[in-house]
Structure 1
Amino acid sequence: MNIRPLGDRVVIKRLEAEEMTKSGIVLPGASKEKPQEAEVVAVGPGGFVDGKEVKMELKVGDKVLFSKYSGSEIKFEGTEYIILRQDDILAVIE
């Protein structure tokens, strides 16, 4: 990957949406919600943001939950990514 985020930013790639509900109902493409789960593909160096030191707590390969409307969606070499601040990550899935 050739994307290197700056500061406290993280590059994530959405995980695929479920095609079937837990009860076994198959969802057509239009009714599927975009998942809020993603995998971290690149992490910025951290540093100082607004005069405060930011330590990066994420690493490449972490599975995370993120805010629905956060970040900027980009398309790079045919793949969609989201670049957002570490603060927009809600949790790490273990």
Structure 2
Amino acid sequence: MAENVKATPLHDRVIIKPAPAESKTAGGIIIPDTAKEKPLMGIVLAAGPGKKDEPVTVKQGDKVLYGKYSGTEFQYEGQELLIMRESDILAIL
């Protein structure tokens, strides 16, 4: 399920591990790396405590849906991760 991350996001930030991009279409056509679309789903690895009057509603292990251009990509301990505000998350799946 979710992996442990030693980093703790501040305030209403959330660290997400994006789902792997699709490498094959439903018809069996292999998609090259340059044509793969950025995934829109991921798993929450860590969540901050929230703002003063707004606690964070997502928790570690939640599968979430987020916007196409949401968040900032970064590498941490050899993993490609995203950090974004909780408000950028569209749904918990």
Q: Which TM-score tier does this pair reach, normalised by the shorter chain?
A: 0.7 to 0.9
CA distance in 2, matches of 1:71, 1:30: 21
CA distance in 1, matches of 2:72, 2:23: 25
One-letter identity of the residue aligned with 1:34? K
- Please give the residue correspondences for 1:4-43 in structure 2 after superposition, counting only pairs within 5 Å: 4-43=8-47
Moved over 4 A (4+): none
TM-score normalised according to structure 2 size? 0.88
Find 1:3's aligned residue among 7, 10, 22.
7
Kindly report the root-mean-square deviation, in angstroms, between the aligned alpha carbons of the 2 structures: 1.1
Q: How far off its partner does 1:11 sit?
A: 0.3
Paired residue for 2:75?
75
| Identical-residue share of aligned pairs (%) | 47
Compare CA radii of gyration and give the structure with the larger one: 1
Q: How far off its partner does 1:18 sit?
A: 1.2
Gaps in structure 1 of 5+ consecutive residues: none
Q: How many residues align?
A: 89
